[in-house]
Structure 1
Amino acid sequence: MAAEIAIETPLQDDVRTMVAALNATMMPLTPREFQFQLTVEQMAEPTVTLFVAREADGHPVGMGALKNHGAGVGEVKRMFTLPEVRGKRIGARILQHIETLAREKAMSRLVLETGEAEGFEPAWRVYERGGFTRCGAVLDYPDSGFSRFYEKKLS
C-alpha cells in the first residue's frame, strides 16, 4: 500500500525525529550559516502547513511544508523522505499536495531554496519533474553560491 499523506502538526515525537534526520543529512552538505531550516516550533506557526507521509503501520517516511508569505507567494520548506523509501515518488506526491493547497489558498507563485552541492541531485529532480524552474534568489535568501532557487507560477 502506498504511503498516505495528510496535514499534521510537527509537534509529534516521530516528526521531530524525522526533522532531526533531515537536519543531520544537511549538515555535511552545506555550511551551517547557509542552511535555512525551520525548527519544529516554527513549522507549527499558523503560516506553515506540514504534510506528513506515513506507511500503513503509521511510521512517517516523508514530509514537506508550505509556508505562506502573503501577497500570493508560497514557499516549499522541509522536504524530506527517508532514504529507504526514495524512488517511490513520495516526495513528488508531497510536492503535489503542497501545490494543491497553494492553489486552494489562491497563491500565484511557489518558490523554494535548496542546496547547490553534490548530494542535492535527487531534490533537484523532484522539483524539476514537478514543474519548477530555476530562478534567481527568492525572498530574503542570500545569493551565496550555496543555494539553488526554484519557482513555479500557479496562475
Structure 2
Amino acid sequence: MSALNIRRDDLRGPEIRALLEEHLAHMRAISPPDSVHALDLDRLRHPAIAFWTVWDGSELLGCGALKRLGEHDGEIKSMRTATRHQRRGVARAMLAHILAHARADGVQRLWLETGSTEHFIAARTLYAASGFVPCGPFADYRDDPHSAFMRLDL
C-alpha cells in the first residue's frame, strides 16, 4: 500500500456509495434492527457532519465522519474500512485524522457508539488504544445491550 490520501468527500461518487451500502448491509446482518445506528448517504449529508474518505491512488480504502453535537462536543460516525483492506492501518489513519480535525476545530469531548458484540472487538480495541473510555449513552442514544458507548476528552 502506498501513502494514504485522506480527503473531504461530498458523498456523490459511486465508490463511496458502494462502501456505505456494504457498511449498512454488514451492520444489519450482525445487529438487531433497533441497534443499527449507521447513517445512510442522505443522513451523512447533514451540515453538522464532516465526512472523509481514505484513498490509495484511485482505490477507496475507507471512510469516517465527525458529527458536531454542540459547540464543544462531537461524535465519530461511519468509520468503515473496505473488507479487503482491513487490518492494514486504514482505520487507525482515519481515526487520527478525525482526532486532529476535532482538536483543530475546538472539540473538547468526542463520543462514539459501536457494537458490544465480538464482531466489534477490533473497533473497540482501536478506540481504547486512542484513549477512548467506556461511558453511558449520550445525545439521543438509549441503553442497549448491543451498543458500547465510548468517550474521549481532548
Q: Identify the TM-score tier after normalising by the shorter chain.
A: over 0.9
Structure 1 counterpart of 2:127: 127
> What is the alpha-carbon distance in structure 2 between the residues aligned to residue 129 and residue 83 of structure 1?
21
Shift of 1:64: 0.5
Structure 2 counterpart of 1:54: 55
> What is the alpha-carbon distance in structure 1 between the residues aligned to residue 128 and residue 86 of structure 2?
16
> What is the alpha-carbon distance in structure 1 between the residues aligned to residue 127 and residue 11 of structure 2?
23
Identity, % of aligned positions: 29
> What is the alpha-carbon distance in structure 2 between the residues aligned to residue 63 and residue 44 of structure 1?
14
- Gaps of at least 5 residues in structure 1 are none
The TM-score, its normalising length taken from structure 2, stands at: 0.94
Structure 2 counterpart of 1:153: 153
Deviations 1:41-97 (A, max 9, x none): 1212211111100112x1111000000111311000000001221121110110111
**Aligned pairs, number:** 153
Shift of 1:139: 1.3
Are 2:49 and 1:38 equivalent residues in the alignment? no
Spell out structure 1 runs of 4+ moving beyond 2 A: none
Q: Contact 1:113 / 1:148 at 8 angstroms: preserved in 2?
A: yes
- Gaps of at least 5 residues in structure 2 are none
Cα RMSD for the two superposed structures: 1.1
The TM-score, its normalising length taken from structure 1, stands at: 0.94
Q: What pairs up with 1:1-155 in 2 under 5 angstroms?
A: 1-56=2-57, 58-154=58-154
